[in-house]
Amino acid sequence: MDLLTSKTVLIVYAHQSPGSFNAAVREVAMEELKEQGYRVVVSDLYAMNFRANATQDDIIGDLTNPELFQYGEETMHAWMEGRLSDDIVAEQRKVLEAELIIFQFPLYWFSVPAIMKGWMDRVLTQGFAFSLQNMYNNGIFKEKKAMLSFTTGATQTMFRPDGINGDINVTLWPLQNGTLHFCGFQVLPPQVFWSPAHCPPPVRTAMLDGWRARLKGLLAEKPLTFAPCDDWHKVNYCLNLLSAFLKPIRLNDHNKWTKTNKPCSRI
């Protein structure tokens, strides 16, 4: 298939078992998107034995500062000079070709599995995926879309604002805003499969059917809304956002907190 005439979707996949529900979700995505004419590329991280730890082995040749190794700085220079390791270069090429990236995984400790976190750490390098001049809505990948698709062990009620695990939107904030949107991606709403291991087969089948139906219009969906960089700098948006986040804390802990307290230790 000609890369110049076809649109590409990259699925970054992290599950070890081919018989898992995550595997079934991935297969549905591959089938449906191919039917729509998309070229689908899968990075099966466990099958690839993708290395998760970000080290100086990711850099070919001499370090800029061998006495004080700084991963971000060194990989930026290596990217500019074409000295990143082959596995990183291969994944970065997939990112460049993709119109949409779907991260498919089981939720581990309220985040992605370590192997997927390693993919983010090693592939989304400074210069390639972000810079201090180009981030968030002005980010390098602002013309691309990305989304999280994952399974949970807990039920949906446990991830509500009043649930024991707290609001799922807060759980996903570091990934959706701090990683994907930071790089400029338009982040589509997550696809959450609530506790499939504890659901009967008909419910799991319905979950997959719902996913297939969503995929039919996925690329046309409206992305999530985040604070724009321009407003942040123009009207000190930072303080307004902190105020919004800290308001529930002040209400629930009013004996210890006032408007004059510094919020850093609580965040």
CB 105 within 8 A of CB 15: yes
- Predicted TM-score (pTM) of the model is 0.86
Q: Is residue 3 part of a domain?
A: no
CATH code, domain carrying 29: 3.40.50.360
Residue 261 counted as domain residue:
yes
Same-domain pairing of 181 and 72: yes
Q: Are residues 255 and 143 in the same domain?
A: no
Q: How many domains does the chain have?
A: 2
Pair (52, 157) in one structural domain: yes
Same domain assignment for residues 89 and 152: yes
Task: Provide the residue range defining the domain that includes 134.
Answer: 8-223
% of the chain beyond a pLDDT of 70: 84
In a domain, 218, yes or no: yes
Task: Let me know if residue 246 belongs to a domain.
Answer: yes
pLDDT in tens, 93-151: 999 999 999 999 999 999 999 999 999 999 999 999 999 889 999 999 999 999 999 99
Q: Do 161 and 219 fall within a single domain?
A: yes
